[in-house]
Amino acid sequence: MVMKLSEFKITTQMKIKSLNGGKEFVSQLLKMGIKIGDVIEVVSIQPLSGPITIKHNNTIISIGRGMAEKIEVELL
């Protein structure tokens, strides 16, 4: 079942299925090392539309809710 990253709570591992944004959005994620097929894990979710912190390849990355809305993932 594919869902937006922003819809998940702190959870186990998930796989990125699609990046639904423009070239700049995809470029920003690629600069962070995030691409389709990667496995990530939600570490924390800040309240009041704050950032979502994910773990990717033993690196902790915070992304805004707007970016998380454009990333589709599925649980492994």
The string of pLDDT tens digits covering residues 6-39 is 888 887 789 999 999 999 999 999 999 999 999 9
Number of domains into which the chain is organized? 1
Counting Cα atoms < 13 Å in the Cβ hemisphere of 33 gives 11
Counting Cα atoms < 13 Å in the Cβ hemisphere of 50 gives 7
CA–CA separation, 23 vs 1, rounded Å? 26
Q: Domain containing 9 — which CATH number?
A: 2.30.30.90
User: Can you give the pLDDT at residue 40?
Assistant: 95
Which residues span the domain enclosing 21? 2-75
- Judge whether residue 48 has pLDDT over 80: yes
| Residue 61, both tokens | 């990355």
User: Can you give the pLDDT at residue 20?
Assistant: 93
